[in-house]
Structure 1
Amino acid sequence: MIPFDEGRARLLLAHACESAGLPGPGDARLLALGENAVFDLGDPAVVAKVGRGPELYERAHRELTVAHWLAGQDVPVVRPYGAVAPEPQLAHGHPVTFWHRLAPAVRPARPADLAPLLRALHRLPLPPFPLAARDLLAPVERWLASAEGHVDPADVAFLRHRRDAFAAALPDLAPQLHPGVIHGDALPRNVHVGPDGPVLLDLENVSHDLREHDLVVLALSHDRYGVPGGEYRAFTEAYGWDVRDWPGFAVLRGARETAAASWVAQQAPGNPAALAEFGRRVDSLRDGAAEVRWYPF
């Protein structure tokens, strides 16, 4: 398997830019490397997202569709770049999408900036196209398989067991909120605070599911990633409810932790820091140590 690293992503980006009729990426700046490699092309004012593998094509296509719909619903979201075809470009099977670059941020996004965006999203009716459920455990097998030979097989077996247990428990959850449109990865890092206010980013996981999904994300960020208590309270006050009061919280949190630990596995090959973080997350789950701090990648 060809590793998906910055060099590989740049080659795929160059191919996609040529297919889309855009100038070569030249000194494009890498912004993030995870499920996608995200690049700022500089000139034109475009951001490109290069998918890690061909299996992400449908998700990339759905993200473009969702972005157009949300913009039409007056939800502040990042907008697809209109000067290219309205579907993902394919670069050796990898989906590549292009987006208008936003004006520079006036400050970092805070949890309280996320709350009104989620309230607006959660008030929407269903769109005129199908939205899948937020099956956050579905990619676990792909993430773990990508790390084969690089992580402890016992850790992989442990996460698979947790995945199966939580997958069996999720359908029995009784929601407090009415199910509907959700973001699916509701974190401050997916909010950009520009001159005109907060804008919602990364729409790949927009789904039709329990709205509690969007609230558990930040509760877990408070517990595991160091979001201060005051900022978390500002978020719950702005949204109007604390998901930790919901009886289903522990199940949804456990499923999210299982996915988050598994996600790091795909970064482990060739990345000692990711390998160490994977071990930290798995050990804390195995030990039931909910207070152990995790670090983002």
Structure 2
Amino acid sequence: MSFAPAATLDAAALGTRTAPVTDVPLGADAGQHAAPSAAPTEHGHGAAAPVAAHHATDERTDPLPLPTAGWGVGHALDAVAEARLALPFRLPRAHVVSALTTVVLRAGRRAVKVYPPGTDPAHLAATAEALAGTPFAVLPVCAPVVTSGGVVTVSPWVTGGRSADWAETGALLRGFHDVHADAAVPLWDPLRRVVSQVAALPDDAAAVLLAARTALLDAVAGLRSELGVGTVHGDVSPGNTVRSGVTPLLIDLDFVARAPREYDLTSAARRFVAGEIDAAAYRGFCDAYGFDVLTWDGRAVLDRVAALGGVAFRLWDDVHHGRAHDWLDDAVREWRTPL
């Protein structure tokens, strides 16, 4: 699949993510495309985890920014109306399916996703091109369209009943990892949102969270992967699968990156440890994938990365809904000791 440059219109010119705050996808930087450094190993010791360069005062542009205050469904609908003029096909009338940090709509046999303004269309297009032809995921059918209300992508709407179960998700993920091991996807850039989300905090609180970010990124850079470094989905759960007939497929590929493959397994492990899924479901996931990340000594670091990512998201969510950060003092005390 090869896309033409993203279409741009010259017209003038949400809700919140509901995932547990300890399981927020952490994504990769679209500006960090690199040739593969090492193919994943088969349960042998792999390379150290690759991460994009990081600094406590990192000012790089986030390719997938969180929405600013006030952006939501109305803006997304306006964006879809503008995008119709640039799409290479007729788009049926669309209705809203979900409003999270993006807005998803259904338009006949098409799934329309609207990202907030500032989203990098090149990031979205590059990921789709890197995964072109995949039998494991649903990809956009055309280039992203940039409008005054946001960036619009269009994919097939897959209707196949229930999502995959955990065992099916494990098998699906293993296939995705193996087939796309060397895909030219961005380097993993965890915790990039911490910098922007602490900017308005008191100096001491911001300093503690930024120091925790630096400590965790240093720890990530020193991890040794048993599964090897490869392409990860970045937000794994049965909820991010759909079914085409009897075949499960991955969706929501925004956070695909080049990272330790174990990262995609830690979501299931956290849910198991927290009691969200039972032992049978977790064992089914591990058996289908072929590895239990609970046995890996780097898991604690990735769990803390996910937890600090949750803090960044919670800061944004409070501002988005006009809530006070009445939990922040406790969080700052906790994050004075990142590991």
In the superposition, the TM-score normalised over structure 1's length comes to 0.77
Mapping 1:6-25, distance limit 5 Å:
6-20=73-87
Which residue number in structure 2 is paired with residue 49 of structure 1? Answer: 113
- Does the 8 A contact of 2:158 with 2:243 survive in 1? no
Match of 2:178 among 115, 123, 140: 123
Instruction: Report the counterpart of residue 62 of structure 1 in structure 2.
Output: 126
- Distance of 2:145 and 2:272 partners within structure 1: 37
Tell me, in whole angstroms, the C-alpha distance in 2 between the residues paired with 1:38 and 1:231: 29
Q: State the one-letter code of the partner of 1:117.
A: L
Matched, 1:220 2:270: yes
By how many angstroms is 1:203 displaced?
Answer: 1.5
Cα distance, 1:110 vs. partner? Answer: 2.2
Amino acid aligned to 2:82: H
Shift of 1:244: 1.4
Name 1:294's counterpart in structure 2. none
Structure 2 residue runs without a partner (length 5+) = 1-67
Structure 1: gaps (5+ residues): 289-297
1:226–1:15 distance in 2 versus 1, CA, 3 Å: same
**What amino acid is the match of 1:120?**
G
Question: Which of 189, 203, 208 is residue 135 of structure 1 equivalent to?
Answer: 189
Hey, what does 2:30 align to over in structure 1?
none
Match of 1:38 among 96, 104, 113: 104
Q: Given the superposition, is the C-alpha separation of residues 271 and 231 from structure 1 closer, same or farther in structure 2, using an over 3 Å criterion? A: farther
Amino acid at match of 2:139: R
How many angstroms apart in 1 are the aligned matches of 2:231 and 2:118? 26
Q: Distance in 2 between matches of 1:241 and 1:87?
A: 36
CA distance in structure 1 between the aligned counterparts of 2:206 and 2:122, rounded to whole angstroms: 27
Q: Judge conservation of contact 2:112–2:154 (CA < 8 Å) in 1.
A: yes
1:144-169 Cα offsets, whole Å, 9 max, x none, are 45xx4xx7876555433321210111
Cα distance between partner residues in 1 of 2:103 and 2:120: 12
Distance 1:286 1:65, change over 3 A: farther
Aligned length: 268
For residue 26 of structure 1, report the CA deviation from its aligned partner.
4.9
The alpha carbon displacement at 1:103 in A equals: 1.5
- Provide the residue aligned with 1:197 in structure 2: 247
CA distance in 2, matches of 1:197, 1:32: 26
2:104 match: secondary structure: strand
Distance 1:224 1:283 in 2: 21
Aligned to 2:156: 100
Q: What is the rounded CA distance, in whole Å, between the counterparts of 1:120 and 1:57 in structure 2? A: 27
Q: Deviations over 1:186-228 (max 9, x none)?
A: 2221111342221111122222221111111222233458233
Is 1:182 the counterpart of 2:237? The answer is no
Return the offset for 1:125: 5.3
Task: For 1:11, give the aligned amino acid.
Answer: D
Say which structure, 1 or 2, has more relative contact order (CA 8 Å, 6+ apart). 2
For the 8 Å contact 1:68–1:80, the answer to whether it is kept is no
Q: 1:152 to 1:37 in 2, by over 3 A?
A: farther
1:153–1:12 CA distance, 2 compared to 1 (3 A): farther
Contact preservation (8 Å) 2:216, 2:304? yes
Q: 1:87 aligns with which of 125, 143, 146?
A: 143
- The letter of the residue matching 1:226 is E
Q: Secondary structure at the match of 1:261?
A: helix
